[in-house]
Structure 1
């Protein structure tokens, strides 16, 4: 995947929300300025005859008073704040309406289960905070989205919070464009394990395919990383490469990668979300044009692609947690495995 990420996109929502919060906070008015405002409000006709000295206030003193008066004006404050709130609602509505044109549907027959998530389930049942780390490359970081709101980790976080409204759920985006297993392993401890997550969603393998790296070597590194994450006590879901024109140019390597990652998941008793198969079904099974879910670079997903991916992943996580809560699916010992 590309190493270039449009960081300018990530700064806009931060500035906007900071501005919104500033508008929503009550203005702090010092006693002297409050008195000045009161005096100005109480001016009568005889005030027009005040001395020339009092009339010729400097620009430095007049401008702050005018600004303070505007902020203290309830009508003006309500108008500005109202516009800010309307903008927030507009953004939220756009996020909710993203599937209005093209519905997000799972493949026929459903997805393969992401596996059991006993740690996350137990934390939710106990009412304890849940920390999820989304680990990966540019499609985790969110390259191709029009706003950080539409990255898959943010979409997933919103979905889980809707499902578990009383739970304290944190989703950390630890994606870094251009990386694959060799680079990810170097920052695994700091970016993932040191955060003490309850669930790690690890998207990996695409850049290895694009670089013509040996799929088996990549799978060995992933298995090693999975072992380290399990030793730290977290549940894991692996995400395999995406179905897209540039990945499909390396069809043989992509096929091997998806199979080997599936084997790692099976051996290590962890979950896997078959992103390649899901996206392939969008195009070949549901007849959705590729440019409806992949941007013009032929590699990264667009807002709809990330949103549907996150929705289906979230559905699987919620289903798996529900099974654990009901005792339907009791996982085997994740420490028992056969090395590749």
Structure 2
């Protein structure tokens, strides 16, 4: 299994100033209707496989998994939105998004189906919307956590990067203890396995407080509407591109007595010309 990435420290909590609390700035790289503070949007970690593809200047294969991942042929579908957002953020890079739905719950065997799909597609990156189906089915949380953890480890053991997207937010379940525990479980697995996480629940909850008609991002049967799909594509892209900017740790200098030469510490810079836009 490849060495795990280190996540960035959490964003500092807003400090109090007289007479009111200072609000955290919104991420201006996002569309106005999708803007949220960075602390409510993502947790970052290194993406070694995607970096390798960029360095080799070859197409980046992305496998999009989850209930919003069906329907690649439709121009308004989430996979198309994700592919377009990634190509915009990574200029001169060919992005190929393969979309597959994953019906059912992780705890009842969806993890096994994920492995079959990953083995077939052989992606550089898996973007996995996870937890909503399990939460609605009220599966045992410990069983879900174990299955998700095993699936993430399996993907990483095959030198494939993975980004998790936690469950959707809905006001009807905002105070539901079980549903919130499920969201926290996805976050805990992402932190434990050191993989990037898109905080979809927190982002949608933040956007739902806006006094606009577009704030409601959830359609029927816990499916995102067009705005929700567009914002999720932007949020996932932001997490991916910022994770790509995470530098590798410097290599220690070699012992001259053993090698005859000293190795210079790595700079952490990629040799590829394809650098994510950090706007």
TM-score in terms of structure 1 length: 0.59
What residue in structure 2 maps to residue 327 of structure 1? 268
Which of these two proteins has the greater Rg computed from alpha carbons? 1
**Which of the numbers 114, 123, 138 marks the counterpart of 1:197?**
123
Is the Cα–Cα contact under 8 Å of residues 135 and 182 in structure 2 kept in the other structure?
Answer: yes
Q: Matches of 1:240 and 1:105 in 2, distance apart?
A: 18
**Secondary structure of the residue that 1:209 maps to in structure 2?**
helix
Task: Give 1:308 deviation, angstroms.
Answer: 0.8
Mapping of 1:284-303 within 5 angstroms? 284=209, 286-288=210-212, 292-295=216-219, 297=220, 299-303=222-226
Is the Cα–Cα contact under 8 Å of residues 283 and 289 in structure 1 kept in the other structure?
Answer: no
**Which of the numbers 200, 209, 213 marks the counterpart of 1:275?**
200
What residue in structure 1 maps to residue 179 of structure 2? 254
1:139 aligns with 2:68: yes
Q: What's the C-alpha RMSD, in Å, of the aligned pairs? A: 2.7
Q: What's the CA shift string for 1:69-117, capped at 9, x where partnerless?
A: xxxxxxxxxxxxxxxxxxxxxxxxxxxxxx6xx6221236552333221
Unpaired stretches in structure 1, ≥5 consecutive residues: 1-98, 329-340
Task: Give 1:187 deviation, angstroms.
Answer: 1.1
**Secondary structure of the residue that 2:207 maps to in structure 1?**
helix
**Secondary structure of the residue that 1:131 maps to in structure 2?**
strand
More helix by share: 1
Task: Give 1:243 deviation, angstroms.
Answer: 0.2
**Secondary structure of the residue that 2:227 maps to in structure 1?**
helix
Q: Matches of 1:288 and 1:180 in 2, distance apart?
A: 35
TM-score in terms of structure 2 length: 0.71
1:104 aligns with 2:27: no
1:312 aligns with 2:235: yes
How many corresponding residue pairs?
Answer: 222
Distance 1:166 1:269, change over 3 A: same
**Secondary structure of the residue that 1:156 maps to in structure 2?**
helix
1:231 aligns with 2:160: no
Distance 1:263 1:109, change over 3 A: closer
State the structure with bigger RCO (CA 8 A, min sep 6), 1 or 2: 2
Task: Give 1:195 deviation, angstroms.
Answer: 1.8
Task: Give 1:177 deviation, angstroms.
Answer: 4.1
Is the Cα–Cα contact under 8 Å of residues 242 and 279 in structure 1 kept in the other structure?
Answer: yes
Is the Cα–Cα contact under 8 Å of residues 161 and 167 in structure 1 kept in the other structure?
Answer: yes
**Secondary structure of the residue that 1:139 maps to in structure 2?**
coil
